[in-house]
Amino acid sequence: MKIFIVAFVLVLQGLFMTSCASKKEENKAGEERPNIVFIIADDMAWDDSGAYGHPYIQTPNIDKLAAQGMRFDNAFLTTSSCSPSRTSIITGMYPHNTDAEQLHWPLPADRITFVEHLKKSGYWTAQAGKWHMGEAVKDRFDLVKDVGTHGFQLSPTGKKTAQIGDGSGCENWVPVMQERPENQPFFLWLAAVDPHRPYSEGIIENPHGLEDVVLPPYFPDTEEVRKDFAHYYNEITRLDNYVGKVVAELDAQDISENTLILFISDNGRPFPRDKTTLYDGAIKTPWIMKWPKKIKPGSVSESLVSSVDIAPTFMQLAGLKSIPSFEGVDFSELLTDPEKNVRDEIYAEDHWHDYEDYTRAIRTKTHKYIRNFYTDLPNTPSADAFVGGTFTSMLELKQKGELTAAQLACFDAPRPEEELYDVVNDPYELKNLAGSTDAKETLLHLRAELKRMRAISNDSLPDFRTPDEFDRNTGKSNDFRKRPRPSKKEMEKIIREMNGK
């Protein structure tokens, strides 16, 4: 009799636990909650795939993702720098509010992320690939497979010692997927190192040729530039192969139907006038979503979205309420109605990334307004641009006086305080309309909007400038390191020493 009672109680407990687990997997509407797979490229421009019209680049899996889901044509990032972009996404905050707005500054432990809320609500959370957000928030994930900042093992002093895997940063994506518990919805943060510099030969079977390269007009058409771009394309293709493996694994596990995939990049291509600027080559991002249960195949949305919107949207899709610290908007309505309008403009910012800068932008569907606060500084590309053939070629041509005005833009100092572009008729943002009488009304409106955004988001100039880490003409180190974030006292000492005081 006692054995029967014990067995009966155990059965009841099992039924109760099953019921609780089932409820965990449902949202407030009583629907099964989706699995969420977030894939983030490293330094990939928005239009460098077949999905966005590139005629030659090999991206069959990204193209298929768009064909089976929804492509967003007006998607933007809050910044054009690697780690600040990632910390902005995970916190749902603009970079200047994360306290990690400069390159390599770790996210503080007191910052709230959407990941811990998913985890508390029953999601299994895991990360694989490039991390670059500091150690303090790794505990928000059940599992972290970090390959380092650039896919290398690091010595205690921070020196690269050995390449991890094939250098893509993607090798653990599928193995992590295979570790997931079967009785829980899951969230995966899959971060590539591709197509970040440095580039290597022989990484794909059919490498791109010089004839495959499509150059924006702000690059000179030289063999060195084309070779640099071809290597960049090859890394995108290697990344594309891993995107295909993720989709294939979801299919093999028979969970594709209710799994949402979002593919984006952290910032634009690592070339002059792209990465670390606020032009569209830097802050406009590929943004492709697939969710067979909800999204109609082949959908396209022209609605504006920002990476600061990802956190509140993922929370909404998981059946959770947004939190006060989130500064973005929920765009989940677009997944079933891509013509809806969720925002009229996006706000973007640029801070220290190898070199000092402080720039802000407002982007609408038709215009871009940029305010340069440090007009004395040229738009120098990130230091890794010096290791590629493009910037080296540009420096040589500059000495010969053979660059066009558009190609000289990254050397110009002083910069104009204000820039205004008609991005519909001038997609490469080459004609500054800030001084045009015809554009005065638009200028005044966007200038006011930038002022409003700075006020409501508590955005203000820092107390002091951060010194450049590298020489702007040679790319050589100035022996200044700021990883992790120095204290105010330490920074003031560094500045005094660099100024010879």
Element (H, E) at 122: none
- Does residue 166 share a domain with residue 203? yes
Any domain includes 10: no
d(CA 480, CA 501): 16
The dihedral through the CA atoms of 493, 496, 499, 501 has a sign that is negative
- Does residue 184 share a domain with residue 55? yes
Any domain includes 19: no
pLDDT at 14: 43
Any domain includes 13: no
Any domain includes 349: no
d(CA 186, CA 121): 11
* Residues in a beta bridge with 359: 350, 372
d(CA 61, CA 167): 20
CATH number at residue 101: 3.40.720.10
- Does residue 269 share a domain with residue 122? yes
In 3D, which of 229, 246, 182, 204 has the Cα closest to residue 40? Answer: 246
Q: How many residues are there in the chain?
A: 501
Residue pLDDT tens, the chain, 501 long: 444 443 443 434 444 344 344 444 566 556 799 999 999 999 999 999 999 999 999 999 999 999 999 999 999 999 999 999 999 999 999 999 999 999 999 999 999 999 999 999 999 999 999 999 999 999 999 999 998 766 655 443 344 555 668 899 999 999 999 999 999 999 999 999 999 999 999 999 999 999 999 999 999 999 999 999 999 999 999 999 999 999 999 999 999 999 999 999 999 999 999 999 999 999 999 999 999 999 999 999 999 999 999 999 999 999 999 999 999 999 999 999 999 999 999 999 999 999 999 999 999 999 999 999 999 999 999 999 998 899 999 999 999 999 999 999 999 999 999 999 999 999 999 999 999 999 999 999 999 999 999 999 999 999 888 899 999 989 999 877 777 777 778 878 877 777 765
- Does residue 382 share a domain with residue 306? no
Element (H, E) at 274: none
Phi/psi for 113 (5° steps) reads -115, 160
- Does residue 114 share a domain with residue 146? yes
Residue with tokens 């993922």: 314
Please name the residues in contact with 399: beta carbons below 8 A apart, sequence gap of 6 or more: none
pLDDT at 312: 98
Contact between 201 and 270 under an 8 Å Cβ cutoff? The reply is no
* Residues in a beta bridge with 126: 143, 188
Residue with tokens 């029953």: 122
- Does residue 255 share a domain with residue 171? yes
CA atoms within 13 A on the CB side of 413: 10
Residue with tokens 């910032």: 267
Of 340, 374, 406, which one is at a domain's C-terminal end?
340
Any domain includes 17: no
In 3D, which of 47, 131, 38, 154 has the Cα closest to residue 82? Answer: 131
pLDDT at 152: 55
Any domain includes 71: yes
Residue type (1 letter), 167: G
- Does residue 167 share a domain with residue 90? yes
pLDDT at 478: 86
Contact between 133 and 149 under an 8 Å Cβ cutoff? The reply is no
Would you tell me how many other CB atoms lie within 10 Å of the CB of residue 332?
18
- Does residue 387 share a domain with residue 268? no
- Does residue 369 share a domain with residue 330? no
Helix 223-252 vs helix 389-400: crossing angle, to nearest 10: 160
- Does residue 488 share a domain with residue 365? yes
- Does residue 385 share a domain with residue 297? no
Where in the sequence is the domain holding 394, given as residue range(s)?
A: 359-498
Of 312, 340, 368, which one is at a domain's C-terminal end?
340
Any domain includes 27: no
What does pTM read for this prediction? 0.92
Number of domains the chain is built from? 2
Element (H, E) at 305: strand 305-306
Of 340, 369, 395, which one is at a domain's C-terminal end?
340
d(CA 130, CA 199): 16
- Does residue 392 share a domain with residue 332? no
Any domain includes 4: no
Is the N-terminal amide bond of 195 cis, ω within 30° of 0? yes
pLDDT at 25: 59
Q: Where are the alpha helices (DSSP H) in 180-286?
A: 223-252, 280-283
